[in-house]
Structure 1
């Protein structure tokens, strides 16, 4: 049974004050926990979303939640788009604000919520960047003897593309996770969920070469359970994986928007193009929802349309 709606306070009374969202955040979060039963992590995410909206309001000299209308919300969403946030992030932020403004209605702070009229951005409208197979080949071949740790870097690039793993999953891999004889490795994804991902011959060879030729030198007479190491023998971080991809992407002339996740997107799109079933791809990527995986069907459709337009005589 939904909570009883409290009587709306006089708008004339509350307009005398500047009602910044931050004034209501703590009470809103308590409401989410006590009455909505939301998890701690979700509540933390909602806090961040509302506080960022409050900061944006302050920057744009919007003094009160009473002033928030469809025009202001559209401006805020446009700002998020310009920051090139993922569609999923924008959608979650909008959901958080809808909940927040519903709470303000419930508390009688505002008479009605115009935020509820905003529709969430559709995922297919914001398709991820994907490299062509030819560009992937160039990227994987980019590390050379002139680099400090070319065998490690090539192995990192190879495993990112071969498995579709996230940067954090690759940086967290341990020696015991690698099964070169069986051509697979085990990775730990979001929520500490483990999954098995296959290694192609190129990735297997790159890892074997790194383990034999370079990793012993990086150990510096220490022991480490982690697969990929820094020059000091410590485990490589997610940010360092990001820098590795950026470095070689720039070398082969890729866009500066390329990141480890681009190789994950490329893996997924190329697998679909090769005939992989969507459910199998969902399992390989470690997606909790099939809807997330279905983004790549739109990417492949978009790619085929582009090829048709470019190659057809009357395209």
Structure 2
């Protein structure tokens, strides 16, 4: 390995404290660039200019590398040359003003209303764990809150008489979110008849608890979603966030206005919420193609 790349490796480990996988990616990108330079009898990795780097990146694109791979290579090169500049090894950074290629915005994966129904029917409500799980899934889909917000809920954040929850209490993202009757009914069953059988300490404030009677963790909830996805035999990659995406998309598909959905999701910028309108437009196209005789 080139000594400068080796020194950069140590810098990432000790000073930046990056993860092993991130460091491995950076170093692999730099080695690949170094090989490209040597194979083409070009300058060494330290003495390169912006044109040479752009030529290399174009070669990656021509070889079929994805936009995300090219963007990561730019990030690797940018970090490396910034390191060399700070160390006084070079006096000019060749990656200055180097633009990353625009990545195509991927539409979030959502479930159909029928798939949501199938997933929510999976928990066994004959036991306390099943009722808890169903209450969590129903609430996630009914409110569109994030997993972190779901597990952070306290018993006092739920108002079953007024049909709303208080999410992200005492934070800048605090908001009151209405919930539907299905979620209210399941939450009522859980709180009134099952929660106390799971809670070990009667002073526990957490709404959803694990087998130890403590607040459920994000990892714990991910395992629950995986379990029911497998059980439901839905051929999609379902994560807890999928229900949040489905909540937003289904509201817009049924006539909800964008501003209201933005407020319920807690998005600071409405452009973040607008991605769900693309899903709605795609749905309209699908309906047109299936229904129009000359489509």
TM-score by length of 2: 0.77
The answer for the alignment partner of 2:5 in structure 1 is 19
Judge conservation of contact 1:128–1:265 (CA < 8 Å) in 2: yes
What is the rounded CA distance, in whole Å, between the counterparts of 1:253 and 1:59 in structure 2? Answer: 38
**Larger Rg, first or second structure (1 or 2):** 2
What is the root-mean-square deviation in Å for CA atoms of aligned residues?
3.7
Task: Flag structure 1 segments of 5+ consecutive residues without an equivalent.
Answer: 1-15, 30-43, 82-89
1:188 matched to 2:188: no
In structure 2, relative to structure 1, the CA distance for the partners of 1:73 and 1:48 (3 Å cut) is farther
Shift of the alpha carbon at 1:76? 11
5 Å-filtered alignment, 1:29-108, equals 48=18, 54-59=23-28, 61-62=31-32, 64=34, 69-71=56-58, 78=66, 100=79, 103=82, 108=90
In structure 2, relative to structure 1, the CA distance for the partners of 1:239 and 1:99 (3 Å cut) is same
What is the rounded CA distance, in whole Å, between the counterparts of 1:223 and 1:76 in structure 2? Answer: 59
5 Å-filtered alignment, 1:96-135, equals 100=79, 103=82, 108=90, 112-113=94-95, 116-123=98-105, 126-135=106-115
For residues 225-277 of structure 1, the C-alpha deviation after alignment (integer angstroms, 9 at most, x for no partner) is 00001122111111111122222222222135101100000000011112222
Shift of the alpha carbon at 1:133? 0.8
Q: Is the partner of 2:255 in helix, strand or coil?
A: coil
In structure 2, relative to structure 1, the CA distance for the partners of 1:94 and 1:276 (3 Å cut) is farther
The partner residue of 2:242 within 243, 259, 262 is: 262
Task: Flag structure 2 segments of 5+ consecutive residues without an equivalent.
Answer: 35-44
Shift of the alpha carbon at 1:58? 3.3
Q: How many residues align?
A: 272
Shift of the alpha carbon at 1:303? 2.0
What is the rounded CA distance, in whole Å, between the counterparts of 1:112 and 1:189 in structure 2? Answer: 47
The answer for the alignment partner of 1:233 in structure 2 is 213
5 Å-filtered alignment, 1:210-249, equals 210-220=190-200, 222-249=202-229
The partner residue of 1:251 within 231, 254, 277 is: 231
